[in-house]
Homo-oligomer: A and B are copies of this chain.
Amino acid sequence: MALRAALRNSCGLSGLLSRRSSCSTHGSVSPLLVAQQRNNSTSPKIDVEFDQSTGVAVMRMQSPPVNSLSLDFLTEFCIGVEKLEMDKGCRGLIITSNQPKVFSAGLDIMEMYGKSPERCGEFWRAVQEMWLKLYSSNMVTIAAINGSSPAGGCLMSMTCDYRIMADNPRYSIGLNETQLGIVAPFWFKDTMVNTVGHRTTEMALELGLLYNPSEALKIGLVDQLVPEDQVLTTAAQAMTKWLAIPDHARQITKSMMRKPTVDKLTSNRDADIQNFVSFITKDSIQKSLRMYLEMLKKRRA
């Protein structure tokens, strides 16, 4: 029940960022969050299974409780993606979650709360890196969204070529940053505009909207809904269809569609980091984050 409550918090209306539990991986034990026990930090946060016969890899995110995108997680994730990218035999990548009820709850709030500017900058560079690697990947990428996917989880999903979501009305997906007083940066915005268009993005971002699966399908934020136990098999079937297209033609086409968006961040990467750091380290923003964390703590008590 604690987990369910936690998920309601992190993935529901006010769920933007996931939060650490007591076993922090880099020493910043949060006195606020004690509801769940983390896996030992030395356990891999990503499970990669690559089938050479099909050329398809499946990445399962397994960072309890909610696959929060911490610096450690992102580092491991990017290394995993890069390895597959460099393997000529790997043509397709399916991303899914091994955690119940959640795909990824998004950026780890503890990476932004009470941290030094340097550390915040390092974290943000890792977030950029994840996006750059996925959005410009030469592989066919499919998100098998088997749980809630707010904020950074939604961003990760949107970088993929195709999105299949579990048809469970308790799950939600969206860029809900403003609900916490945070702002999605321009490349989150660009990715969403490329996916659902300008007006839907405008309203989604200003209101920090989270959509249930039916709503997400309707606005085009996901491409297909299936029963929860069929998400992964459907992803594998869809992958077959995508891999029927000659790689080079598909890759050139994908690059043509996405390169202008990728280039915008690539050529503004340092400025974007500076912008994030100066924003997130503001007293008012830190105060908002503290209040949010205290609210989570009270709810769990």
Q: Footprint of B on A, CB under 8 Å?
A: 161-162, 177-184, 186, 189, 193-199, 201-203, 205-208, 220, 223, 241-242, 245-246, 248-250, 252-254, 256-258, 284, 288
| Alpha-carbon gap, A258 to B203, bound state (A) | 12
Which of B194, B196, B205, B288 is within 8 Å of A202, CB to CB? B194
A-B contact pairs, 25 of them (CB 8 A): A161-B203, A161-B206, A177-B249, A183-B249, A184-B253, A186-B256, A189-B253, A195-B199, A196-B199, A197-B197, A197-B198, A197-B199, A199-B220, A202-B254, A202-B257, A203-B223, A205-B253, A205-B256, A205-B257, A206-B242, A206-B250, A206-B254, A206-B257, A208-B245, A248-B284
Cβ A257 vs Cβ B182 within 8 A: no
Q: Which residues of B contact A198 (CB under 8 A)?
A: 193-195, 197, 257
Cβ B183 vs Cβ A288 within 8 A: no
Chain B: minimal CB distance from A106 (Å): 15
SS class of chain A's interface: helix, strand, loop or mixed? helix
Nearest neighbor of A261 in chain B, beta-carbon distance: B198
| Alpha-carbon gap, A18 to B288, bound state (A) | 49
Cβ A178 vs Cβ B246 within 8 A: yes
